[in-house]
Copies of this chain bind each other. A is one copy, B any other.
Amino acid sequence: MANSPLLTLTLCFLALISNSCFAARESTRLPLQQQQQYGQCRLQNLNPLQPYRQIQHEAGVTEIWDQNNDQMQCAGVAATRHRIEPRGLLLPSFNNAPMVVYVIKGQGVLGTTFPGCPETYQSLQQLSEEGTQYSQRSSRKDQHQKLHRFRRGDVLALPAGVAHWVYNDGGDQLVVVVVHDTSNKDNQLDQNLRRFFLAGNSQERRQESLHGQDHSGDNVLQGFDPEILAEAFDVNIETARRLQSENDKRGFIVRVERGFEVVRPGRVEEEEEEREYGTNGLEETICSMRIKENIADPERADVYTARGGRISTVNSHNLPILRDIQLSAERGVLYRNAMVAPHWNQNAHSIMYIIRGSGRVQIVGNSNRPAFDGEVRQGQLLVIPQNFAVVKLAGDQGLEWISIKTNDLAKTSPLSGRTSVIRAIPEAVLANAYQISRAEARRLKYNREEVTIHSPRRGRSQQKASAWSIANEL
């Protein structure tokens, strides 16, 4: 069906996080882990992170952030970016950590399987293959399957251990960024992200690592005896061997030669899927739960400042499945030279991915020096630890980001603006704390009326009118 083209291999083609391929790294990595094992996070120096490894597949690229990085380890997360070409299919897999996916670009279909769910939850949607003679559709319906159409701006949430696949049925490249919460209660293995594929072949040369590290991603069906697979599926031995994909050189994103056509569900089903779930979450099981919420629409913003920008939040109040996986997300848009008020995350780490533009970020921990003070640019990831104070300023092109937070109801404490901590402290306390006059204390509390997002100051904003408009963004 699909031929197997020669692939440009990176040094660690399909190594998927395994460290065994960079023997030289071990000597530096271990002491850091050791450091953390002594009960301390090294967080004095934070840095925006780029992916450290790239895996080329037949129809796409997977980029992986180093989960042994201090910041990633301390936050207990792993991150991945997939670029999937049109007609590219990310093969079915599951892993040991809940995850949040943000769709940066393009569109596609996500297929999930929840084997415990009753058959009545089967999806009405069907996939048919373009141009085939296969007109007689099987009378048996596909069961337990859910197909989720997604597009730019969607947040998708998936529990640990749930098998899923992704198909790009659009005309453009599909780009998604994924944050995995490996320190989540639902991961009972160690903190390494482990990917379990149900098809494909990693091609990775197996070498016993000195430190006994497991491989971190391969087709688990390869580990079974083909005779047993044949018996399990009641198929012949040749089909069973196909499941093991031994000679498959396409990687884990494969090209569907003639493409799929996804039968789009009627308007009614769409609306039903999009309906708001009330506070009565009792009836809602994992089987019927929405896993998707779009947060790119400017009208959906939770916080909006006319010349500043906006923030949209998805948490367990508007996407209840997040209660189970204890994650949430925030999408921010800052116009030119605008600012997110200095604030701290009360109950979560924030994993900030820059979608577009650039800006300046300052992060301060329980110290008098910043843990980070510098520029962030499109494509970078920045860990903002729980309770660390942070301020974000947009550059001349504005700044757009998605932050995944390690709490389903993440709360922030702004220092300035109408809902700020400083406004909540009585004038007399501020005056004495900072040794300023009562009049100064009042200015500190009341000069900024804007909530969370601050537009550039009057003098400046006149000169530097934002080049961005809401229309431009979308």
Q: Distance in Å from the Cβ of A422 to the closest Cβ of chain B?
A: 7
Binds B, one of A219-227, A327-335, A394-402: A219-227
Are A223's CB and B386's CB within 8 A? no
A94 within 8 A of B: yes
Q: Is A447 an interface residue (CB 8 A)?
A: yes
C-alpha gap A73/B349 in the complex (Å): 23
Please, how many angstroms separate the alpha-carbon atoms of A129 and B437 in the complex? 12
Is A229 close to B, CB under 8 A?
yes
Once A41-B190, A233-B422, A433-B199 are accepted as A-B contacts, the answer to whether A214 and B367 lie under 8 Å apart by CB is: yes
A239 surroundings in chain B (CB, below 8 A): 436, 440, 443-444
- Answer whether residue A60 sits at the interface, using C-beta atoms and an 8 A cutoff: no
The answer to whether B339 touches A231 (Cβ under 8 A) is yes
B429 touches A89 (CB 8 A): yes
Contacts of A386 in B (CB 8 A): 96, 161, 187-189
Indicate how many identical chains form the complex.
3
Q: How far is the CB of A378 from chain B (nearest CB, A)?
A: 22
Residues of B contacting A134 with CB < 8 Å?
A: 438
A interface residues, tally (CB under 8 Å): 158
Residues in B whose Cβ lies below 8 Å from that of A344: 94, 161, 196, 220
Given contacts A143-B423, A231-B339, contact A220 B365 (CB under 8 A): yes
B235 touches A39 (CB 8 A): no
A168 on the interface (CB 8 Å rule)?
A: no
Given contacts A38-B30, A89-B433, A428-B127, contact A454 B231 (CB under 8 A): yes
Are A438 and B368 in touch, CB under 8 angstroms?
no
B42, B191, B387, B440: the one within 8 Å of A194 (CB): B387
Cross-chain contact A186 with B347 (CB below 8 angstroms): yes
Contact between chains at B416 and A233 (CB < 8 Å):
yes
| A216 contacts B38, C-beta separation under 8 Å | no
- Is A2's CB within 8 Å of the partner chain B? yes
Q: Could you say which of B362, B387, B433 contacts A189, with CB atoms under 8 Å apart?
A: B387
Q: A143-B424, A163-B425, A223-B368 given. 6 additional CB < 8 A pairs?
A: A36-B39, A37-B37, A221-B364, A223-B365, A232-B454, A233-B422
